[in-house]
Amino acid sequence: MLVAYEVSIEVVRQLRPLVARIRKHDNTQAKQLVDAMSAAVRNLAEGAVHKGGNKRAKFEIALGEVNEVRAALDLAIAWGYIVDDSAARVPLMRLLALCHGLVR
């Protein structure tokens, strides 16, 4: 199994309580965060079995989605919806690095 996929599932687990807190303040922001992370997981899974250009395209989409998750957390902190995202941030940053490596 692709390491990035496994890390993405861990990120989802760590995001769950944060999404619940964000949802109390901004349902749209919470939904967008969930949608982006879910898309990242699905694209990593698809990319793992594709060949050639399709493989890279799936990984590039995953990278963009993971970066969107990072932005959503940055916004949630800036808006004061959450204070500490370190439990999710650590595996998220690892996932960003892994995705970046997959598209190089």
pLDDT of residue 62: 98
Question: Based on the structure, what is the number of domains in the chain?
Answer: 1
Confidence of residue 93 (pLDDT cuts 50, 70, 90): very high
CATH number at residue 30: 1.20.1440.60
Other Cβ atoms closer than 10 A to 78: 8
Residue 65's CB is within 10 A of a number of other CB atoms, namely 21
Statement: residue 1 has pLDDT above 90: no
Q: What's the pLDDT tens digit per position in 12-55?
A: 999 999 999 999 999 999 999 999 999 999 999 999 998 888 99
Note the pTM of the prediction, 2 decimals: 0.95
Give the pLDDT of residue 16.
98
- The confidence score (pLDDT) of residue 47 equals 95
Tokens matching residue 19: 């999404």
Task: Please list, in sequence order, all residues whose beta carbon lies within 8 angstroms of the beta carbon of residue 37, skipping any fewer than 6 positions away.
Answer: 8, 11, 12, 15, 65, 66, 69
Residues spanned by the domain of 54: 3-103
